[in-house]
C-alpha cells in the first residue's frame, strides 16, 4: 500500500530517521505476514505501531532485533537500515551485536532468576565487561534512568522476582538500557500492569527519548495518542499510514485509518 512518502514525511519536518524499514516482507515458513512495509523511525522520538489484532505489529517489531532468526523457516526480504547505513537484516551482520544496539522490552516483565543487580549487569557481562567499577556505574546509571534506583538501591542483591510487576518491568527497561542501546523496542509494555504502574512506564518513556529512540507496539489508541510523537497504522501486513500522531488521529489520509481510529473496527 503505502509508501516511501513516509520517509519524505520525516525529512519534510527535518528529523533524522534512526532506522528506516525499506520494502520489508516477512514470511513464517511459506506464510507472508509483512508485505513490502516501509517505515521511518525518527530519532529521539516515540513511534507507535497500531492496528487490529494479527496485522503484523509484533512481527515487524521483532524484525528490528532479529528475534525471528531464533526459529528456522522464517525469512526476511528487504532492509532495515540503521542510521541510513547498516542493513541490520544483512547476512554479514551478527544478531547479537544488533541486540546490543537495539534492545527489547516484552509484554510481560521477564526478569532472569538472578539478583536485581545481575539482571541489569547481564548484557554488560555478555559484552565481556569485567571491571567491577564500570559494571557498578553502568548498573546504577541504568537503574536511575529507569526510575528504579531509589526503590532498589538497598536491595540490589535480592532476587528480582521479589519486586512488584511494575518494578519488574522497570527493571527490564534498566536491563535494556544498560548496554547503551540506540533504539528500544517495546511490545505492549504495560498490558500486564495496573494504571499506576502504566503511568510510571509512560512517564519513563517520555523521559527516555532524550537518550534513545523508541518504537512501541500498543493495543491502546489512547496510549499511542498520549505518548507517541509519530504513529504508524498497519492492516493485514501492510503499512497503511504513517504520520505525526496528532495528524494521524485527527486528519487521517486513508479511510481504513479513519475507520480504525474512530473505533469502527479492530
Ligand X SMILES: Nc1ncnc2c1ncn2[C@@H]1O[C@H](COP(=O)(O)OP(=O)(O)OP(=O)(O)O)[C@@H](O)[C@H]1O
Binding site for ligand X (CB under 6 A): 28, 31, 33, 51, 53-59, 219
Q: How far is the CB of 161 from ligand X (least distance, A)?
A: 26
Q: Where are the beta strands (DSSP E) in 5-73?
A: 17-28, 31-42, 46-50
CA distance 266 to 264: 7
56 and 239 Cβ atoms separated by less than 8 Å: no
Q: How far is the CB of 263 from ligand X (least distance, A)?
A: 16
CB-count exposure of residue 15 (10 Å: 0-12, 13-18, 19+): middle
Nearer to ligand X, 33 or 192 (CB): 33
Q: How far is the CB of 54 from ligand X (least distance, A)?
A: 4
Q: How far is the CB of 56 from ligand X (least distance, A)?
A: 4
CB-count exposure of residue 247 (10 Å: 0-12, 13-18, 19+): middle
Nearer to ligand X, 54 or 84 (CB): 54
Nearer to ligand X, 45 or 58 (CB): 58
Q: How far is the CB of 147 from ligand X (least distance, A)?
A: 27
Nearer to ligand X, 141 or 219 (CB): 219
CA distance 198 to 191: 8
CA distance 78 to 161: 40
Nearer to ligand X, 55 or 239 (CB): 55
Amino acid at each position: 500500500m503505502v509508501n516511501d512518502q513516509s520517509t519524505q514525511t520525516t525529512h519534510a519536518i527535518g528529523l533524522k530517521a534512526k532506522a528506516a524499514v525499506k520494502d520489508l516482507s516477512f514470511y513464517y515458513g511459506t506464510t507472508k505476514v509483512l508485505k513490502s512495509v516501509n517505515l521511518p523511525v525518527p530519532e529521539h522520538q516515540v513511534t507507535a505501531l497500531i492496528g487490529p489484532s494479527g496485522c503484523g505489529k509484533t512481527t515487524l517489531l521483532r524484525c528490528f532485533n532479529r528475534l525471528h532468526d531464533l526459529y528456522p523457516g522464517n525469512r526476511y526480504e528487504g532492509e532495515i537500515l540503521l542510521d541510513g547505513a547498516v542493513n541490520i537484516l544483512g547476512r554479514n551482520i551478527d544478531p547479537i551485536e544488533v541486540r546490543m544496539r537495539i534492545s527489547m522490552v516484552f509484554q510481560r516483565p521477564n526478569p532472569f532468576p538472578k539478583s536485581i543487580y545481575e539482571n541489569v549487569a547481564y548484557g554488560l557481562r555478555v559484552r565481556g565487561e569485567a571491571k567491577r567499577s564500570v559494571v557498578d556505574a553502568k548498573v546504577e546509571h541504568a537503574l536511575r534512568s529507569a526510575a528504579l534506583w531509589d526503590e532498589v538501591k538497598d536491595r540490589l542483591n535480592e532476587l528480582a522476582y521479589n519486586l512488584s510487576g511494575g518494578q519488574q518491568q522497570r527493571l527490564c527497561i534498566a536491563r535494556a538500557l544498560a548496554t547503551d542501546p540506540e533504539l528500544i523496542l517495546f511490545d505492549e509494555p504495560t498490558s500486564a500492569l495496573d494504571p499506576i504502574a502504566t503511568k510510571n512506564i509512560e512517564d519513563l518513556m517520555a523521559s527516555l527519548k532524550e537518550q534513545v529512540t523508541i518504537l512501541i507496539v500498543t493495543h491502546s489508541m489512547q496510549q499511542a495518542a498520549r505518548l507517541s510523537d509519530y504513529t504508524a497504522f498497519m492492516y493485514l501486513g501492510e503499512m497503511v499510514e504513517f504520520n505525526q500522531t496528532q495528524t494521524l488521529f485527527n486528519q487521517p489520509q486513508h479511510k481504513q485509518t479513519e475507520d480504525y481510529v474512530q473505533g469502527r473496527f479492530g
